[in-house]
Amino acid sequence: MSKQPLTVDPGLRFDLDDFAPDYTGKYDSAKSAKKETEKYLEALAELQEMLYAQGKKALLVVLQGMDTAGKDGVISHVMGAFNPQGVQASSFKVPSEEELAHDYLWRIHKVIPRRGLIGIFNRSHYEDVLVVRVAKLAPEEVWRKRYAQINHFERLLAESGVTIVKFFLYISKEEQAERLRERQQTPSKQWKFSPGDLKVREVWDDYMRAYEDALTECNTEYAPWYVIPSDRKWYRNLAASSVLVETMQGMDLEYPDPIPNIESYEIPD
């Protein structure tokens, strides 16, 4: 297979038929990708230290995907390279009564990372054009307006010093079935199994169309979407870490200047 892109230019349509969820590039096993992945993770640790020390910018990582796609896995195996003191993770489930009393972006905006920190969203504001759309929780005239609203919101964040990178963890329906069976049959994973996941599988195609529209409508230069092939967990981690390194290298991060005449200070024995 020829090299598969992870994104498309803003303005072009995402067609998920152009992306293979089992794609692994030039790698044929976790072993063959291990060295490259470790290199990226080491780079992420250093880049985060510069981000934290500089204290002028923030990074927001948005993780979306169907159940079992690996959002928790990316947080553990990729974001695990970061010092937890500089990371703020947020998970978005069914809105609370208080959240429903505000606009749908209220709960998002209040947990945007401050300068110097990395924010990780396990699901996000995109639930309001995905679940809300497929489950018909709001009419089309409501959720369709949200694409533009989200773009304006993300532009505000970007112009305020927040670099945004968004990952759609793309798995096949067949791979999801295998992972659901594993959850069902593994005692230590059974707590993750929900009959609701099976209902979502019944409208899989509806979700894929909703994702294609969300990716297309909200793929901008200031908040790009990346489709991460996720049938192979090890390649998912490699691809996500490589994009993060490239993103952070483009943030003009650097250590702040030391205090004046730092070498003149005597350090007592």
Instruction: Supply the pTM of this predicted model.
Output: 0.95
pLDDT at position 3, please?
85
Domains of the chain as residue ranges with CATH? 16-252 (3.40.50.300)
pLDDT digits (tens, 9 = 90+) for 126-168: 999 999 999 999 999 999 999 999 999 999 999 999 999 999 9
Question: pLDDT tens per residue, the chain (269 residues)?
Answer: 468 999 999 999 999 999 999 999 999 999 999 999 999 999 999 999 999 999 999 999 999 999 999 999 999 999 999 999 999 999 998 899 999 999 999 999 999 999 999 999 999 999 999 999 999 999 999 999 999 999 999 999 999 999 999 999 999 999 999 999 999 999 999 999 989 889 999 999 999 999 999 999 999 999 999 999 999 999 999 999 999 999 999 999 999 999 999 999 999 98
pLDDT at position 196, please?
87
Q: Of 159, 77, 153, 150, whose CA–CA distance to 120 is shortest?
A: 77
